Amino acid sequence: MGRGARADWRGTLTPRGWGFAAAAAMVLVSAQVMGRRDLLHLAVFLALIPAAALVSNLLIRPSMSVRREPRPEVVEAGQLTEVALSLAHSGILSGRMSMAEQLPASLGTGPAFVYPGRSISRDGSSNYRYELGCPRRGVFSLGPVEARHTDPFGLAERHSRIGSSTRLTVTPAAVPLAASVLSGVRGAEGAVAARIQSMPSDDDVMTREYRHGDPMRRVHWAATARHGELMVRQEESAVSPEATLVVDLRRPAFSQAGHNDSGGPDTPTFEWAVTAVMSIAAHLSERGYALRLLEPAGGLALAHSASAPEPDAPDYSGRDGLAMVAEGLAAIAPLEGSGGTEGFSDRLLDRLEGHRHRGPIVAVLGRTTREDARQLATAASFAERALAIIVTPRAGSSREAVEALRDSGWLAIEATPRSSVARVWTALTAATAGPGTGQSPAYEGRRDGGGEERSSA
């Protein structure tokens, strides 16, 4: 919500005012040439009119305030948000003001309106509403309002910026993904808790020998008959299934080969990767997984996002957790400096091993070398299923990395910004071919003349 106090006024003459000034100069010259005093008086009169209008505009400065409220303040890319504006003034205000809302270029041109407006509330505020399309993710500043006010004769005008800007967060849109890729994995069919036994038995992981003081209601009679002695159900602690997403934030991994591009957040490869991360996060959250987002150095990925509501949260669960992940991905960008130029650190592998067999590991990577892939390859043994998507500007540029990951047990595939995220995800189920099989590890979506996407995997 934006609010402003006194406006920053700047005054100038209108074309009509400058016309009066020019006429005064011409009459003054004529008075000098012709030696007529009456023309001199006329010249002074013509000069005083625009000067008086300009001075009055500069001296009479009504205090303006603006309240701005996007509804909702966090919106998904491709959706609309309604912005409510409320403007009011205190002090002297003659005539009407023409105003225009200032918007970032990527959101288009802001609406223009007149103050006071037709809709006036009881407190004297003029109310306006407009719809705003949000085509892409990001954090945007709406406002301030640019105002133009002329005097009653249209000789002088003043320009002002009213109020401050208001933040609008646009999250990446999730693409629906097929459930078949995670079929058979714990949590794939719903929120199924993983059971960690506090005291495992050598003979039966679900039972142990009866101990003095154990309640009889915990006796497991089938196990008792099988072992020939009293057996009781083992104490268990429920742990929600967890999924780890490795979000590649290495800037060189998203630079465009052959272009003067350092791998910024606007590159097609990075935008595709963010959409894939959002889609996979939504897919996993719907199946009851708590989400951990890590970056190649082993830190929390969303800790590097200016839009993350809880950047230091170790994991996110439920609908609220997914909303925080989406908001954090709104402003995520490749890392500057050394933090974004190294491969996959030992710290990352330690954190992946620390959650061994809690759920799947999904890595969404930029251009990756074989050496980098080998650093990450051993993590396949830490998860029930390890999946990797490598997005590159040109198909085949990370082929060796895909093969290295597959050789270590990963389901890995290569994609380009032209690929369909949903189809790349589905193609992971068949992405088991290693080197020498003759099957291409790349997936590149193409569209024919009728708009239907065709792919090769």
Is the CB of residue 167 less than 8 Å from the CB of residue 370?
Answer: no
In a domain, 6, yes or no: no
Average pLDDT over residues 340-345: 73
301 and 165, same domain (yes or no): no
Gyration radius of the chain over CA positions: 33
Question: Does residue 280 sit in the same domain as residue 203?
Answer: no
Inform me whether the pLDDT recorded for 243 exceeds 70: yes
- The arithmetic mean of pLDDT across residues 150-160, rounded, is 87
Q: 20: part of which helix (H) or strand (E)?
A: helix 15-34
Q: Is residue 187 part of a domain?
A: no
In whole angstroms, give the CA distance from residue 91 to residue 63: 6
Domain annotation covers residue 188? no
Digit-coded pLDDT (tens) for 377-396: 999 999 989 999 999 999 99
pLDDT at 172 over 90: yes
Query: Domain end: 59, 82, 98, which one?
Result: 59
Total tally of structural domains belonging to the chain:
4
Question: Across residues 429-446, what is the average pLDDT?
Answer: 52
Q: Are residues 366 and 274 both part of a single domain?
A: yes
Q: Predicted confidence band at 68 (pLDDT cuts at 50, 70, 90)? A: very high
Average pLDDT over residues 428-432: 76
* Residue at which a domain ends, from 210, 234, 258: 234
Do 296 and 410 sit in the same domain of this protein?
A: yes
350/436 same-domain check: yes
pLDDT average, residue stretch 443-447: 51
Q: Out of 42, 59, 76, pick the residue that ends a domain.
A: 59
Residue 345 has pLDDT above 90, yes or no: yes
Question: Is residue 193 in a domain?
Answer: no
Question: Do the Cβ atoms of 412 and 440 come closer than 8 Å?
Answer: no
What integer best gives the mean pLDDT of the chain?
Answer: 84
- Give residue 209's pLDDT: 77
Same domain, 270 and 311: yes
For residue 176, being part of any structural domain is answered with no
Check whether residue 274 and residue 303 sit in a common domain. Answer: yes
Global pTM value: 0.80
Give percent of the chain above pLDDT 90: 60
Same domain, 328 and 400: yes
Domain that holds residue 214: 199-234
- Name residues whose C-beta falls within 8 Å of residue 449's C-beta, 6 or more positions apart in sequence: none
> Can you give the CATH number for the domain in which 273 is found?
3.40.50.410
Give yes or no: residues 403 and 267 share one domain.
yes
CATH number of 164's domain: 2.20.130.20
Most confident of 158-167, 254-263, 323-332: 323-332
Mean pLDDT of the 90-97 span = 79
Residue 303 contacts residue 312 (beta carbons within 8 Å): yes
Mean pLDDT across the stretch 305-322?
A: 95
Q: 251 and 271 share a domain? A: yes
State whether 345 and 430 are in the same domain.
Answer: yes
From the list 352, 334, 336, the residue with the least C-alpha distance to 344 is: 352
Residue 341 pLDDT > 80: no
Question: pLDDT band at residue 404, thresholds of 50, 70 and 90?
Answer: very high
Which pLDDT tens digit goes with each residue over 280-305?
999 999 999 999 999 999 999 999 99
Q: Which helix (H) or strand (E) holds 338?
A: none
Indicate whether 71 and 212 sit together in one domain.
no
Are 127 and 133 in contact by the 8 Å Cβ rule? The answer is no
Per the domain annotation, does 3 fall within a domain?
no
User: Is the pLDDT reported for residue 245 higher than 50?
Assistant: yes
Identify the helix (H) or strand (E) that includes residue 435. Answer: none
Residue 457, pLDDT > 50, answer no
Q: Answer for the pair 151, 5: CB distance below 8 angstroms, yes or no.
A: no
First to last CA, the chain: 48
Q: Report if residue 342 sits inside a domain.
A: yes
CA 411 to CA 382: how far, in whole Å? Answer: 14
Arithmetic mean of pLDDT, 9-38: 90
Q: Reduced to 3 DSSP states, what percent helix, strand and coil does the chain have, rounded to the nearest 5?
A: 30, 30, 40
In a domain, 4, yes or no: no
CA distance 332 to 249: 9
